Amino acid sequence: MPTVTRREFLKVGAAGAGALAASGLGFDVALAESNRVKQKLRIEGAKELHSICPYCAVGCSLVAYTRTNSDGTTQLLQIEGDPDSPVNEGRLCPKGATAMQLAVSPRRVESPMYRPAGATAWQKISWDDMLDKIANNIKASRDATFVATDGNGNTVNRTEGIAFAGGAAFSSEEGYFATKLMRGLGLVHLEQQARV
Amino acid sequence: MVSLAATFGRGAMTNHWRDIKNSDLILINGANPAEAHPVGFQWFMRAKLDRGAKMIHADPRFTRTSALADMYLRIRTGSDVAYFGGLINHVLQNNLFHDAYVRNYTNASFIVKDGFTFKDGLFSGYDPAKRSYNIASWSYETDPATGFAMRDKTLQHPRSVFQLMKAHYSRYTPEMVSSITGIPAADFNKVAELVGQMGKPDKVMTIVYAVGLTHHTTGGQLIRSGAVLQLLLGNMGRPGGGMNAERGHANIQGNTDHAISWEILPGYLKIPAPGQKTIADYVAASAPKKSDKNSWNFFGTNYSKFMVSTLKAWYGAAAKKDNEFAFNFVPKPAGNASWMTIYDQALKGKMEGLILSGMTAASIGPDSNQVRQALNNLKWLVVMDSLPTTSSEFWHAPGVDRGSIKTEVFMVPTTHWIEKDGSFVNSGRWSQWKDQVLPPQGQARHDHWILADIFQRVKKLYQAQGGKFPEPIMALTFDYKDPLKPELDEIAKEINGKDLSTGKQMTSFALLKDDGTTTTGDWIYTGSYLDTGNLMKRRQGVQDVKANDPTGMGFFPNWAWSWPLNRRVMYNRASADLDGKPWDPTRPGITWNGSKWVGDVPDYPATMDPHDPAAWLPFIMNGEGVGRLFSNSMVDGPFPEHYEPIESPVQNPLHPANSASPVAFLYDKAAGRPNRFGTPSEFPYIATSYRLTEHEHYVTQHVPHLVQLQPKPFVEIPDELAREKGIKSGDQVRVSSKRGKVEVLALVTKRLGAMTVAGQKVYQIGIPIHWGYVGLSADSDPSHGRYWMANALTPFVGDANARTPEFKAFLVNLEKM
């Protein structure tokens, strides 16, 4: 029996029954069956987008299928391995295969939370208030710990009392942007996942 | 990564995932790709199944990688320098190295200065009070007329790198290797026999490793010992060869390239140091120096162009020739400012605020209890994440008096990877663009929008109130359509850089200038986003293998984009002989066709005739132009040497007087805090930590299917030890170190076993890292994961080069509860 790749199978499905009407009876029946199955696929008519697995650094390509519901919300229908990728050729490990449960999760933090010093519970806070508080903290700590000239008289212009760490799940462009902004604020304590 | 840069010139996986299929022999150390990188592992299996490649797995634990390997060697954790050192010795003593490659493409022929020594475990220049080396004697003898290094291509000079190296590794006999690693000498000899064949020009071996090599106080040298072996066998720069680091997170590579790392600026430019006043000072102190007449010294020659172009990208009009392009805006650290230093500074009361993004200090540790104390010493903590972490929740962790925690904590909800576009760079340096698939959930916002917004608010505060040196904040470029909502597409263009006189995107970093007329956000990404479009979006993959992989070597040049300049195998000039012919015609990297180099994108001038006497040497990033068997870019020695982990049950059989690394950084000691190391009498068992297929670090504690697959924390205990202790699988056990404890389930296994090391019987215990007091497992447990953190056990010490913690080798005790 010749092997049919997933890609070829889908192509046959997409060609439609009419184009193959001249085929033998058996094949027509098989094709009709495959078309019937295809009609029922969850991804029928869905939008096909491309992503990359968020876990390890193999860099498996993902195909994500979404549908826009009548209320305007976007629904994620399916995530699977991208068969075109020279890295994974459609394959995924258990983590990649369950990426949908990370993408859409009832455990997400959906609004800003604030815990003042000594408090025993989270408090809700508006984005605006939270970002103002953080900006004020950064300015106060920067001004309190900024060293313009070191003990040897060298110009060093560094902020010693603020650290930034993170980014292994950033898009690269976000990572670059974070570096630029943090260095712009004078930070020297800058770190991500590479060492740990 | 430090060690790869110190050896070859760039700190990244040299080849790429699919390339592993081109190997004849695959050595896997400090890694478990079948479980930790399972989809990448298909290329290992393709090498084995399609070309009959052999696979050798050296690991403390028999894993699914071992099950598929041709040979499994139970090795004591942290002893891989002895393993590779023994292989180096075998290759040198039996003249099995790739002769032409070693003479011409490595620094084997370079003469080292008189005065360089190695005795009793110490290289010349050691200062015991400072626990550091003065490396002045670790350099080449130079020709006074040219300033270049002296060479002896016969390799006979007693102070040639070759002869020094031969003497250094002569101590690593199979018996010594066995004594240190616990691998029976007969098994080691079988490996040596296979590896010894890989110096033939038509054979290629790859070495694949992960954090099992990195996470030691000798981590840099563990990796460098493999790199030295690969240079001797002539396996660098070639398809199927290389030193291949398997990174563990989706975009560690991209964000290292873009320098979220204290010691670098984008593209691995060094962070400037105090005392450097001008670009010239900076370049003189930072750039590699040309040390051979045929060395191009590409990096060193262009260092100032890359730096000035980055300063122009960041500070725009404020970066001018007459102010050294705003060089004084760049902060100059007093000293190390890496991961552990952040918490060390907090413990000393010198760190006020910390912003964590997608990274949780409390679980990562090391010494999680001490790190949590450090978090408590902060004034404020900002956690930017999509899901709760052990850091956002540290103030109400089980057993904590929540009212006593003084730190102000912000939980800033961010979008997931799938709710934004942008690129991820995989281990093999392929920068792959992704779509925004979903809108943000709830009120979550993009990280870069949050950072942009905070930055603009800080800027306004400085405008309104004044404050310390606001100039860099005022000058930082924000050339985005909406400064509060920059698009990642706009930032990708900025990273590539442009020619300010024409407004066009730069096509190559070779065209960058240091006169202020060009910009780049990260020079190694120049060429990724042209006027014609974003090359990282390219998708010509295996849907048409013949068209999209024309050489058949798996390069797929029109799938995504790979730094530098879409090159798929780095240092590929070394894949061809002196005439430009591939060492193995069936596996060409690049080939000289009489007028130009063809194949992969050459890591070399495209039309440089190899027969020209002035032709450049192959390792264009190094000042020597060749690969470095001897390297003065490592602070703990120019040749890798075996040292014991800081906590070890045995003395170093090579030099007991200097058993552990003499330059490992002992944070507690340096800060005047009490010693927190255990002795073998109290803590008799070796422990190592690792990851499971079904989890990734800590975030997967929120994914129901994965928690169902691996629901509870456990430790793996060797069968024989379990019987001694009366422990059965499923029993609750306590594993403790000098620093903390875990209380989890026992998994009794034959995957781990007793070993004989330095004449002593030792056991190793395995501890998966994934659990803590946050997540679905913790929520469903009465203890709420109070004693589930593996890193409560790990020591607060760092590798001398990179300050990498020693997560993979420490001492514990084991009790049945």
Q: Contacts of residue A163 in chain B, CB cutoff 8 Å?
A: 337, 342, 345, 351, 353-355
Inter-chain contact B453–A159, Cβ cutoff 8 Å?
no
C-alpha to C-alpha distance for A137 and B408, rounded to whole angstroms? 10
How do residues B490-526 score in pLDDT, each as one tens digit? 999 999 999 999 999 999 999 999 999 999 999 999 9
How do residues B473-486 score in pLDDT, each as one tens digit? 999 999 999 999 99
pLDDT at position B741 over 90: yes
A27 vs chain B: nearest CA distance in angstroms? 25
- Cβ-contact B13, B429 below 8 angstroms: yes
pLDDT at position A19 over 80: no
pLDDT at position A18 over 80: no
What would the mean pLDDT of B565-576 be, rounded to a whole number? Answer: 97
pLDDT at position B606 over 60: yes
Q: Contacts of residue A188 in chain B, CB cutoff 8 Å?
A: 262, 271, 331-334, 337
Residue with tokens 């698009």, as numbered in its chain: B487
Give A 115-154 residues with CB within 8 A of chain B: 115-120, 122, 127, 130-139, 141-148, 150, 152, 154
Q: Per-residue confidence at B723, pLDDT binned at 50, 70, 90? A: very high
What pLDDT, on the 0 to 100 scale, is given for residue A23?
43
A25 vs chain B: nearest CA distance in angstroms? 30
Q: Contacts of residue A66 in chain B, CB cutoff 8 Å?
A: 437-438
What would the mean pLDDT of B274-279 be, rounded to a whole number? Answer: 98
Inter-chain contact A86–B424, Cβ cutoff 8 Å?
no
Architecture of domain B664-816: Beta Barrel (2.40)
Residue with tokens 């040749």, as numbered in its chain: B639
pLDDT at position A76 over 50: yes
C-alpha to C-alpha distance for A126 and B699, rounded to whole angstroms? 25
Inter-chain contact A157–B331, Cβ cutoff 8 Å?
yes
Q: Per-residue confidence at B310, pLDDT binned at 50, 70, 90? A: very high
C-alpha to C-alpha distance for B311 and B318, rounded to whole angstroms? 9
C-alpha to C-alpha distance for B529 and B527, rounded to whole angstroms? 6
What is the largest distance, in Å, between two alpha-carbon atoms of chain B? 77
| Residue B60: C-alpha distances to residues B176, B177, B685 (Å) | 18, 15, 13
C-alpha to C-alpha distance for B11 and B9, rounded to whole angstroms? 7
pLDDT at position B618 over 60: yes
Task: Tell me, yes or no, if the two domains B339-465 and B664-816 fold the same way.
Answer: no
What would the two tokens of residue B416 be? 């997931």
Mean residue pLDDT of chain A comes to: 88
Let me know if A147 is exposed, middle or buried by CB neighbors in 10 A (0-12, 13-18, 19+).
Answer: buried
- The reply to whether ipTM tops 0.85 is yes
Written out in words, the top-level CATH class of the domain with range B339-465 is alpha beta
Architecture of domain B20-109+162-253: 3-Layer(aba) Sandwich (3.40)
Mean residue pLDDT of chain B comes to: 97
Inter-chain contact B262–A175, Cβ cutoff 8 Å?
no
Domain ranges across chain B: 20-109+162-253, 269-290+299-333+477-530, 339-465, 664-816
Query: What percent of chain A has a predicted confidence (pLDDT) above 90?
Result: 74
Q: Contacts of residue B380 in chain A, CB cutoff 8 Å?
A: 134, 137, 141
How do residues B158-176 score in pLDDT, each as one tens digit? 999 999 999 999 999 999 9
C-alpha to C-alpha distance for A118 and B408, rounded to whole angstroms? 8
The kind and range of the H/E element at B690 are strand B685-690
- Cβ-contact B69, B56 below 8 angstroms: yes
The pTM (predicted TM-score) of the whole model is: 0.95
Inter-chain contact B334–A88, Cβ cutoff 8 Å?
no
Q: Contacts of residue B417 in chain A, CB cutoff 8 Å?
A: 51-52, 54, 169, 171
Task: Compare CB distances from A171 to B259, B396, B422 and report the shortest one's residue.
Answer: B422
Q: Contacts of residue B422 in chain A, CB cutoff 8 Å?
A: 170-174
Q: Per-residue confidence at A14, pLDDT binned at 50, 70, 90? A: very low
What pLDDT, on the 0 to 100 scale, is given for residue A42?
80
Q: Per-residue confidence at A92, pLDDT binned at 50, 70, 90? A: very high
If you measure CA to CA, which chain B residue comes closest to A140? B467
pLDDT at position A125 over 50: yes
pLDDT at position A11 over 90: no
Radius of gyration of chain A (CA): 26
B706 vs chain A: nearest CA distance in angstroms? 7
Task: Compare CB distances from B411 to A52, A109, A189 and report the shortest one's residue.
Answer: A109
- Cβ-contact A194, B257 below 8 angstroms: no
What would the two tokens of residue B201 be? 């020009």
The kind and range of the H/E element at A96 are helix A94-97
Task: Compare CB distances from A135 to B385, B396, B454 and report the shortest one's residue.
Answer: B454
C-alpha to C-alpha distance for B629 and B639, rounded to whole angstroms? 7
A42 vs chain B: nearest CA distance in angstroms? 17
pLDDT at position B117 over 80: yes
What pLDDT, on the 0 to 100 scale, is given for residue A41?
77
Task: Compare CB distances from A192 to B256, B354, B444 and report the shortest one's residue.
Answer: B256
What pLDDT, on the 0 to 100 scale, is given for residue A38?
62
Look at residue B187 and give its three-state secondary structure: helix
What pLDDT, on the 0 to 100 scale, is given for residue A44?
83
Inter-chain contact B425–A187, Cβ cutoff 8 Å?
no
If you measure CA to CA, which chain B residue comes closest to A169? B251
pLDDT at position B131 over 60: yes
pLDDT at position B105 over 90: yes
Inter-chain contact B411–A54, Cβ cutoff 8 Å?
no
Asked if omega into B582 is within 30° of 0 (cis), the reply is: no
Degrees, nearest 5: CA angle B491-B496-B498: 100
The verdict on A160 touching B (C-beta cutoff 8 Å) is yes
Cβ count near B508 (within 10 Å) = 11
Q: Contacts of residue B427 in chain A, CB cutoff 8 Å?
A: 57-59
What would the mean pLDDT of A33-56 be, rounded to a whole number? Answer: 84
Q: Contacts of residue B423 in chain A, CB cutoff 8 Å?
A: 171-173
Q: Contacts of residue A146 in chain B, CB cutoff 8 Å?
A: 468-469
Quickly list H helices, B389-540.
447-465, 471-475, 488-496
pLDDT at position B23 over 90: yes
Give A 28-67 residues with CB within 8 A of chain B: 49-61, 64, 66
Alpha carbon B658 to its chain's center: 26
Inter-chain contact B258–A179, Cβ cutoff 8 Å?
yes
Inter-chain contact A161–B358, Cβ cutoff 8 Å?
no
What would the two tokens of residue A64 be? 């994500």
B22: left (phi over 0), alpha (psi -120 to 50) or beta: alpha
Look at residue A57 and give its three-state secondary structure: coil
Inter-chain contact A66–B438, Cβ cutoff 8 Å?
yes
pLDDT at position A15 over 50: no
The verdict on A186 touching B (C-beta cutoff 8 Å) is yes
Q: Contacts of residue B254 in chain A, CB cutoff 8 Å?
A: 170-172, 175
Inter-chain contact B408–A116, Cβ cutoff 8 Å?
yes
Inter-chain contact B379–A173, Cβ cutoff 8 Å?
no
Q: Contacts of residue A83 in chain B, CB cutoff 8 Å?
A: 542-543
